[in-house]
Each structure stands twice: as structure tokens, then as C-alpha cells.
Amino acid sequence: MTIATVNNYHNKVAQSRAIAEPTWFRWLLIGTALTFLGLFLFVPLFTVFHEALRKGLGLYIAAFNEPDAWSAIELTFIAAAIAVPLNLVFGVTAAWAIAKFDFKGKSVLITLIDLPFAVSPVIAGLIYVLIFGLQGWVGGWLSEHDFKVIFAVPGIVLATIFVTFPFVARELIPLMQAQGKDEEEAAIVLGASGWQMFWRVTLPNIKWGLLYGVILCNARAMGEFGAVSVVSGHIRGMTNTLPLHVEILYNEYNYVAAFACASLLAFLALVTLALKTLVEWQAKHAATTVEE
């Protein structure tokens, strides 16, 4: 999954005869693999767009011609616009400390950063309810000061930050570890300040990995359902993100509108995959030019 993956295989062997399968067997394997991917990936993906447009373009557009849909889209972007930059800053800072310095407890720290991936999204929402909810640790104090976290936007933002927490860090740590610290040390010895070193040496070296992490982080931030569902309270036009809006429409048997909103998210996912592939190619290209 890391960006450092390079497809060496075809360069190394031009499919040597001795270790190749017979043609019919090869196509059997390709056919089986594609059937599996078709049943689980391609057919469901196609269905989203098919169901959305089934009753014509008019009804499709009507699904977005609604204030609730717009406020859901807006909230989805707000949550991502806060969560992604925060986790970006955290990811760079954590990777700097972990990849460039030696200290005790480093592997424990790396495991702790990965924790949010191991936690069920539902539990990610629950933990904030336990702290900020009315029964929670600071819930009473918050309600006295008329500040709502749970069933309000701050809770949604917090839950989004939690589920996207490790994305940038776990992309940058192996990358920066592999790059070592020689270039940065040279910059400092030659008299660069800390910030000059960061902007001129570190950042150009990690830009593709950074972008890759941000793309994945953003996709998850905009698509998160479970964690946000627990803290949101599903108040229409107020605390509904786009994935939650899809759920409400679907449960109201308003399938066309539900799939119309879902198609927007599916489109975002496809854009994400395209950008991600582009960044992988760029990184591969950058790696080969450096080697040459």
C-alpha cells in the first residue's frame, strides 16, 4: 500500500517460458479473478449510478435541488476541511520525530498512532459521547455554558479527526525513515535554519507521499459513516453529513434521491482513486529519475 512499491516484475523477467502457465490456464485465472471483482466491486459500483438515473435525469437533479442535501454537502466539506489539515500537521510532526531521531518507546508510539484503525467506527463515536455527552465527564459543564459537542458540529469534526488520524503519519513514517537524515544534516551544517531546511529539503522529498496520505485521509473524512452517525443525532439540515443524508433518504424509501446522493460520493471515490494512481505514477517517475 505504500508509495514506494514499484512494479519490478516485468522489468526483471520478460515472462520466461519455463515458469509461465499454459495460455488456457492463464485466461482461466484472469477470468476467475475478474468475475470475483465483478461480483463484489464493479456491479455494485455500476448499480449506484444506474439506480440514481433510473427514473431520469430530472429526478436525479431534483435530489440536489433541496436545502437539506446542500447543508449535508456543506457539513461534509467543513468536517473534512478541519480534520484533514489537523491530521496533516500531526502526520508531518510525528513522522519528523519518529523517522529522524532515536528514542526509547518509538515502536510503542508507532503502534499507538495506528490505534484508530483498529477501533470500530461505532466505538470511535461512543468514546466522545462518553466524554462530551450529557452523562459524560464534561457534559454537564458544557451544557451549563450552552456549548454542544454531541449532536452538533464539533462532535462530527472530532469523530472525523479520530477515524482519519493515522493516514498521513503512517504514509510518511516509512518514507522518511527510508530517506534517512543525511540531506537534512547537510543543510543544517551548511547553515540553513530549521524552517529553511524543512521547506527546501524535507518537504520536496516527501511531497508525493504527503499528497498520497492527504488524498486517502480526505476520502475517509468525507465518507465516514459509523463514527459520525453515533455523535450526529441525525438532525436534518443541521448535523447531517452526506453519507448520513443517504441513509435517511434510503430509510424513507426515497431510493432515487438516496442513490443520487450516493452517486456523488461514488464519483468522489473514483476521483480519489484516479488522483491516487496519478500520484503513484509521479512518485515512481521521481524515483527512477533520481536513480538515473
For another protein, the binding residues in 23-42 under the rule CB under 8 A are: 26, 29-30, 32-34, 36-37, 39-42
**What sign does the dihedral 131-132-138-140 (CA atoms) show?**
negative
- For residue 132, the tally of other CB atoms under 10 A from its CB is 24
Should residue 5 be labelled a site residue for another protein when binding is judged by CB under 8 A?
yes
Q: Where in 204-263 is the site for another protein (CB under 8 A)?
A: 216, 219-220, 222-226, 229-230, 242-244, 246-247, 250, 258-259, 262
Binding residue for another protein, selected from 70, 194, 204, 285, defined by CB under 8 A:
194
CB of 141 to another protein, least distance (A): 15
| Angle (deg, nearest 10), helices 242-251 and 255-291 | 150
Within 255-274, the residues that bind another protein by CB under 8 A are 258-259, 262, 265-266, 269-270, 272-274
Within positions 75 to 94, which residues make up the interface with another protein, using CB under 8 A? 90, 93-94
Q: Which is nearer to another protein, 71 or 175 (CB)?
A: 175
- Total site size for another protein, rule CB under 8 A: 108
Q: How far is the CB of 152 from another protein (least distance, A)?
A: 16
Q: Is 18 in the site for another protein (CB under 8 A)?
A: yes
User: Which of residues 12, 144, 290, 291 is near another protein by CB under 8 A?
Assistant: 12
Between CA 277 and CA 289 the distance in angstroms is 18
User: What's the rounded Cα separation, in Å, for the pair 265 and 163?
Assistant: 18
Quote the least distance from Cβ 75 to another protein, whole Å. Answer: 14
Site string for another protein, 126-165 (x = CB under 8 A): xxxxxx-x-xxx--------------------x--xx--x
**Nearer Cβ to another protein (8/65):** 8
Site membership for another protein, residue 120 (CB under 8 A): yes
Amino acid at 94: A
C-alpha cell at 258: 438516496
Rounded Cα distance, 260 and 58, in Å: 11
State yes or no: residue 289 binds another protein (CB under 8 A): no
Using a CB cutoff of 8 Å and minimum separation of 24, what contacts does 173-177 make? 173/94, 173/95, 173/98, 173/99, 173/110, 174/2, 174/4, 175/2, 175/3, 175/4, 175/95, 175/99, 175/206, 175/209, 176/95, 176/96, 176/98, 176/99, 176/100, 176/202, 176/205, 176/206, 177/98, 177/99
The number of angstroms, rounded, from the C-alpha of 216 to the middle of its chain's C-alpha atoms is 3
Of the ranges 56-64, 101-109, 141-149, 204-212, which one interacts with another protein (CB under 8 A)? 101-109
* Nearest residue (CB) to another protein, 110 versus 238: 110
